[in-house]
């Protein structure tokens, strides 16, 4: 392959890799808030600078390799080495540092007094989400974070077992969740929409299956959502769902899962009080549906290898159907 061939191949690979995750609900390059915008701007600044320098270096290499070129004098050669090898990188790196440093305080500053506080705990392999409440008990859910647009949000991050990393690419940078040490992350969602977050630190077998949904609402809509989540679970009226509720009790599901308003008050697994209102189940793995509930309950070990929850493949199709109907009715 000629030098020109190598150059164009490298350029193509760079462009394809760059374009692969430039859009979608889990993209740092489609920012939905000022923190993420800063990161996207920094990324493009760094990338464009890097590409320009790379092209210049390749150009110089081609020029140096061309046979028609007369050798440089000793003085010009030394000037090229000092200018290109010392002065140029010092100036470029200093400018990039000066551009990037002012972004730091955004993450480190104290939260404004009206900031919404959301506690998130990472566990193998799901997210416990808790909203503080002035009136009544805290609102707890799992694998879904709802936020109001236009208001600062302070995430207080913990880890229940091993190190995880909390990351919502469309809203801002990632932050490690460390056992025994609380970390925080200040974000400002500004665009209403549905986004995707993920664990960004390898945390075991199903690390890649540890994602979550982020829904940014208008402020009034968010208040309505939070009020609905604070309510206890509805008693299912549908006979199939009612049978599912009985099976849920008989199987002892409530030892691990909480369903507020019922006897189920387990703390080991995700809170299921309003699981029927969520967009996905199993930490973002499956779109919520009665079929998905049945699959996950029967084949937990293959859908999320290593998960603490055992697979209930021994249940009859009828019992699985009833359980799924109950969970789906928990709106
Ligand atoms: Cu949690 Cu990776």
Within 8 A by CB and 6+ apart from 139, the residues are 130, 131, 133, 226, 229, 230
Nearest-angstrom CA–CA distance, 304 and 164:
17
Say yes or no: CB of residue 210 within 6 Å of ligand 1. Answer: yes
* CA of 6 relative to ligand 1 center, distance in Å: 38
pLDDT score at 30? 86
Q: Can you give the C-alpha Rg of the chain in angstroms?
A: 26
pTM of the predicted model as reported, rounded to 2 decimal places = 0.84
Cα–Cα distances in angstroms (integers) from residue 163 to residues 35, 121, 175, in the given order? 24, 11, 11
From the CA of 204, give the closest atom in ligand 1: 2
From the CA of 210, give the closest atom in ligand 1: 1
pLDDT score at 66? 81
Say yes or no: CB of residue 304 within 6 Å of ligand 1. Answer: no
Say yes or no: CB of residue 202 within 6 Å of ligand 1. Answer: yes
Nearest-angstrom CA–CA distance, 178 and 197:
18
Give the pairing type, strands 139-142 and 126-131.
Answer: antiparallel
pLDDT score at 20? 52
* CA of 204 relative to ligand 1 center, distance in Å: 7
Say yes or no: CB of residue 203 within 6 Å of ligand 1. Answer: yes
The neighbouring-strand residues paired with 182 are: none
From the CA of 177, give the closest atom in ligand 1: 1
* CA of 158 relative to ligand 1 center, distance in Å: 12
Say yes or no: CB of residue 207 within 6 Å of ligand 1. Answer: yes
* CA of 166 relative to ligand 1 center, distance in Å: 8
Q: Which of 89, 218, 93 is nearest to 151 (CA)?
A: 218
* CA of 124 relative to ligand 1 center, distance in Å: 7
* CA of 123 relative to ligand 1 center, distance in Å: 8
Say yes or no: CB of residue 164 within 6 Å of ligand 1. Answer: yes
* CA of 146 relative to ligand 1 center, distance in Å: 20
Say yes or no: CB of residue 201 within 6 Å of ligand 1. Answer: yes
Q: What is the pLDDT along the chain (331 residues), one digit of tens a residue?
A: 455 555 565 555 555 555 555 567 888 888 888 888 888 888 898 899 999 999 999 998 888 888 777 778 899 889 988 998 899 999 999 998 988 888 776 666 788 888 999 999 999 999 999 998 777 778 999 999 999 999 999 999 999 999 999 999 999 889 999 999 999 999 999 999 999 999 999 999 999 999 999 999 999 999 999 999 999 998 888 999 999 999 999 999 999 999 999 999 999 999 999 999 999 999 999 999 999 999 999 999 999 999 999 999 999 999 999 999 999 999 9
* CA of 177 relative to ligand 1 center, distance in Å: 9
* CA of 207 relative to ligand 1 center, distance in Å: 4
Nearest-angstrom CA–CA distance, 270 and 258:
7
Give the pairing type, strands 144-148 and 211-217.
Answer: parallel
pLDDT score at 12? 59
pLDDT score at 1? 47
Which residue's alpha carbon is nearest to atom 1 within ligand 1? 164
DSSP H/E element including 4:
helix 3-20
Interior/surface letters 38-51, b for 16+ CB within 10 angstroms, e for the rest: bbbeeeeeeeeeee
């Amino acid at each position: 392959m000629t030098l020109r061939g190598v150059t164009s191949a490298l350029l193509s690979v760079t462009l394809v890799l760059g374009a692969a995750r430039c859009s979608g609900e889990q993209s740092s390059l489609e920012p939905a808030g000022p923190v993420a915008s800063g990161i996207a701007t920094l990324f493009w600044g760094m990338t464009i600078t890097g590409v320009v320098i790379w092209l210049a270096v390749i150009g110089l290499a081609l020029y140096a390799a061309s046979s028609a070129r007369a050798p440089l004098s000793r003085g010009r050669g030394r000037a090229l080495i000092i200018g290109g090898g010392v002065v140029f990188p010092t100036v470029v790196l200093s400018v990039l540092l000066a551009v990037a440093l002012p972004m730091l305080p955004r993450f480190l500053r104290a939260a404004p007094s009206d900031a919404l506080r959301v506690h998130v705990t990472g566990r193998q392999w799901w997210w416990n989400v808790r909203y503080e409440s002035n009136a009544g008990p805290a609102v707890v859910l799992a694998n879904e974070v709802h936020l109001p647009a236009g208001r600062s949000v302070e995430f207080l991050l913990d880890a229940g077992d091993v190190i995880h990393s909390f990351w919502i690419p469309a809203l801002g940078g990632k932050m490690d969740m460390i056992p025994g040490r609380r970390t925080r992350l200040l974000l400002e969602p500004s665009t209403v929409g549905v986004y995707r977050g993920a664990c960004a630190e390898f945390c075991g077998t199903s690390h890649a299956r540890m994602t979550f949904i982020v829904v940014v609402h208008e402020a009034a809509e968010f208040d309505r959502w939070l009020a609905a989540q604070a309510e206890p679970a509805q008693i299912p009226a549908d006979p199939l769902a009612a049978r599912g509720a009985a099976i849920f009790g008989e199987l002892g599901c409530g030892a691990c899962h909480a369903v507020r308003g019922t006897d189920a008050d387990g703390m080991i697994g995700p809170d299921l009080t309003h699981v029927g209102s969520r967009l996905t189940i199993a930490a973002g793995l499956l779109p919520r549906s009665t079929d998905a509930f049945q699959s996950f309950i029967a084949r937990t070990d293959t859908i999320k290898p290593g998960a603490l929850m055992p697979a209930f493949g021994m249940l009859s199709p009828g019992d699985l159907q009833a359980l799924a109907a109950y969970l789906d009715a928990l709106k």
